[in-house]
Amino acid sequence: MMNECPFCKSELKISELTCSKCGTILRGDFRGCDFCKLAEEDLNFIKVFLKSHGSIKEVEKELGISYPTVKNRLNQIISSLGIETKGSLNKEERLEVLGRLEKGELTLQQTLSLLEGKK
């Protein structure tokens, strides 16, 4: 589904719904679901994830991607949906952690643990 104006990039609103069987048209101000905002690729990923009952190993196999890629995709989709997870860092906190890694204040393992919400 198209979510933004191709000209000015503003958010598109749903203003008309049409029944495919009888042709009834409803006009108004309708809101799409949160998942409607996701790219087709993200929706496919979610379908694979659900089909595998949340098994990251199964997602890895079916999509041919690595464990870190699966985790990154999940985190990206969670963030896109505006879901705050327990122990999750906001953007500023993540940047701070990465800055500490860059300065040598943290090891890579410490950084990964902090980014994954582990203390």
118 confidence band (pLDDT: 50, 70, 90):
low
Q: Looking at residue 32, what is its pLDDT?
A: 82
Domain membership flag for residue 71: no
Here the tokens at position 100 are 């500490």
33 confidence band (pLDDT: 50, 70, 90):
confident
> DSSP alpha helices (H): ranges in the chain?
40-51, 56-63, 67-80, 91-102, 108-115
pTM of the model: 0.60
Q: Which domain holds residue 116?
A: 89-119
Domain membership flag for residue 38: no
Here the tokens at position 2 are 């198209």
CA angle 34, 2, 91 (to 5 degrees): 50
Domain membership flag for residue 117: yes
Q: Is 19 helix (H, G, I), strand (E, B) or coil?
A: coil
Determine how many CB atoms are found less than 10 A away from the CB of residue 70: 20
Helices and strands (DSSP H and E) totals, the chain = 5, 2
Domain membership flag for residue 111: yes
Q: Looking at residue 27, what is its pLDDT?
A: 96
Backbone angles phi, psi at 69, to 5 degrees: -65, -40
Strand duo 14-18 + 25-30: pairing: antiparallel
Domain membership flag for residue 81: no
For the chain, how many structural domains are there in total? 1
Domain membership flag for residue 105: yes
Domain membership flag for residue 107: yes
Contact of 30 with 20, CB cutoff 8 Å: no
Domain membership flag for residue 57: no
